[in-house]
Amino acid sequence: MNSKKFDADILIIGSGVAALSMALKIATEKNDINPKSVYLLTKESVPDTNSAMAQGGIAAVSEVSDSFESHIKDTLIAGAGLCKIEAVRNIIEQAPDRIQDLIDWGVEFDSDLTREGGHSHRRILHFEDQTGAEIHKKLWLAVQKNPNIKVFENHFAIDLIVNKQVDPNIIGPTKVIGVYALDKKNEAVEIFTARTTILATGGAGKVYLYTSNWSGATGDGIAMAYRSGCRISNLEFMQFHPTCLYHKDSRNFLITEAIRGEGGELLNSNGEAFMKKHHHLGSLAPRDIVARGIDAEMKKTGAACVFLDISHKPIEFLKSHFPTIFSKCLDFGIDMSKQPIPVVPAAHYLCGGIVTDTNGKTDLQNLFAIGEVANTGLHGANRLASNSLLECLAMSHNASVEIQNTWTEIEKNKLSASPAPWLKPENTNSDEMIVISHMWEEIRRLMWNYVGIVRSTKRLERAQHRLQNIMHEVKEYYSNMKIHSDIIELRNIAIVADLTVQCALKRKESRGIHFSLDFPPVHDSSDAEILSDSVNARDSILLRGLS
């Protein structure tokens, strides 16, 4: 069967804040792209994304008492010596302009700034406790109104297509010319070609058993890029958000860090505040320290969770500042104005990813990566709260400028030959789909137990051994069964899990999010030492792709 073919100037894979802002930038800014055809592929519906679930806000220097240098310093300290200063400065110093972009697109912010863990000032712009939803909604409205942007929902990108697949005789650099994508509604694989492809596929929280991420956060972009030859780095730095709601009927509802910024205190099962034992900032310490503190307290007491108490605040304040959380907790019988909220850590944000420069350029020509899927060097070994939405906007801006400036050269790289149709088995076995579901659960539980908040070399080696067997089984399923979204996701989380373990085994130290019982912390968390490490640009853990 011949595959349907679509051709665009710009192909964006994803539908979060990075993807939507990229589409708007490239399709509406004055540039030399003509025609300005922008295709956006998303594996499910557009609102299904981590961005829309972001609660806290977006970090940006907004008051005269604050400064870029202060925000940069806070970012470097949180990043534990692995941030790239040029990326940090580039992204933080353009924050006011990116906030103005959002306002121009119709985004509304509350009048007050809030503070979150690791920040030395109040600099978090927010809309109640649903900032991501507000930003995503307004960007999506703007995209729908733009005639140059065409959206393909329920289209799951399977693999990148490179020039040397189309013509094996090509000599020179590997160039990405598009993707194979599964139209989930019609169960058909289609071909999308483009002059430039942008991966904005988000993170990989679903590689872990407990996560704050949406169900589609399966590391698809990282796996695709790795299979095509891109370098991947620092996957050992999966940030665990300290506070997700602990309830039998809710497994991924985030309790924003802004609650701690407004005076919320973490308590153990005996009602005792415990975070001061772990860091001088107490409950407002950077996320990696808070997550480990909670993990240690739970192990010490044998409790299934800890508690976040902000009941000392007036009920009117809680309802106005945290309406979504207040309502959600009430749904589960928890009145946060009268009792503490039960919370546990959960996999939240991946600080590593596809290696890019500050413009989002990858190792492959005509392939960009922006947002959580990319490793720009902004986050280092641990992300500072509310820097993620800022990175999405800054990187989409940088990438759009880079594409505009080089469009004449990009446009010359058209191939005369077309990609071959998708050829894979047409039959499937419903019984085997059950096994795929079991393997999915096994990987996620394995990662949670052995590659979680606290690790050891022995645990990592056990995980690696089992993952090698799973990878072999997944390859057989992928090669011999009709393509299905569950198989694609299983293939991707298996690859990302394996790469994560490889990165973790290579890092012979405890730093930031990566904490190993076999290696003492590299320093005593002295701010001066961390800043010195950042200046000296410590190395990342790099894994070369498979091309």
CATH code of 181's domain: 3.50.50.60
Residue 274 sits in a domain of what CATH number? 3.90.700.10
Write down the pLDDT at residue 29. 61
Number of domains comprising the chain: 2
What stretches in the chain show pLDDT beneath 70? 1-2, 29-36, 413-416, 427-431, 522-539, 547
From 373, 393, 411, the end of a domain falls on 411
In sequence order, the 6+-apart residues with CB closer than 8 A to the CB of 464 are 498, 501, 502, 505
Number of H helices, E strands in the chain: 17, 17
Question: Annotated catalytic, 287?
Answer: yes
In this structure, is residue 481 part of a structural domain?
no
In this structure, is residue 474 part of a structural domain?
no
Q: Which of 287, 383, 455, 507 is catalytic?
A: 287
- 41 and 120 both lie in a single domain: yes
Q: Are 61 and 95 in contact (CB under 8 A)?
A: yes
> What is the phi-psi region of residue 509: left when phi exceeds 0, alpha when psi lies from -120 to 50, beta otherwise?
beta
- 230 and 255 both lie in a single domain: no
Write down the pLDDT at residue 56. 76
Write down the pLDDT at residue 522. 59
- 215 and 320 both lie in a single domain: no
Q: Take residue 470 and report the two structure tokens written for it.
A: 């799973």
In this structure, is residue 469 part of a structural domain?
no
In this structure, is residue 427 part of a structural domain?
no
Write down the pLDDT at residue 544. 77
In this structure, is residue 180 part of a structural domain?
yes
Q: What are the residue ranges of helices labelled H in 152-307?
A: 163-166, 220-228, 258-261, 287-301
From 330, 348, 366, the end of a domain falls on 348
Of the candidates 226, 233, 207, 229, which has an alpha carbon nearest to the alpha carbon of residue 218?
207
- 100 and 167 both lie in a single domain: yes
pLDDT (tens digit, 9 = 90+) per residue, 112-167?
888 887 888 999 999 887 888 999 999 999 999 999 999 999 999 999 999 888 88
Of the candidates 143, 111, 203, 123, which has an alpha carbon nearest to the alpha carbon of residue 390?
123
In this structure, is residue 198 part of a structural domain?
yes
Q: Are 233 and 503 in contact (CB under 8 A)?
A: yes
Cα(291)–Cα(276) distance, integer angstroms: 13
**DSSP state, residue 349:** E
Write down the pLDDT at residue 530. 56
3-state DSSP assignment of residue 18: helix
Of the candidates 525, 64, 28, which has an alpha carbon nearest to the alpha carbon of residue 288?
525
Write down the pLDDT at residue 527. 61
In this structure, is residue 487 part of a structural domain?
no
- 67 and 173 both lie in a single domain: yes
- 162 and 279 both lie in a single domain: no
Of the candidates 9, 55, 51, which has an alpha carbon nearest to the alpha carbon of residue 33?
9
Write down the pLDDT at residue 437. 86
Q: Report phi then psi at 494, rounded to 5.
A: -65, -45
Q: Take residue 416 and report the two structure tokens written for it.
A: 């005369």
Q: How many CB atoms lie within 10 A of CB 504?
A: 23
CA distances from 313 to 263, 338, 343 (A): 8, 9, 19
> For residue 360, what are the domain limits?
5-236+351-411
From 348, 371, 401, the end of a domain falls on 348
In this structure, is residue 31 part of a structural domain?
yes
Write down the pLDDT at residue 526. 54
- 94 and 196 both lie in a single domain: yes
CA distances from 184 to 44, 191, 200 (A): 9, 14, 19
Cα(236)–Cα(217) distance, integer angstroms: 17
Q: Which residues pair with 354 in a beta bridge?
A: 232, 374
Q: Are 14 and 42 in contact (CB under 8 A)?
A: yes
- 46 and 184 both lie in a single domain: yes
Radius of gyration over alpha carbons of the chain, in Å?
23
- 305 and 390 both lie in a single domain: no
- 242 and 98 both lie in a single domain: no
- 298 and 312 both lie in a single domain: yes
Sign (positive/negative) of CA torsion 479, 355, 194, 371? positive
Q: What are the residue ranges of helices labelled H in 29-94?
A: 68-78, 85-93
- 214 and 99 both lie in a single domain: yes
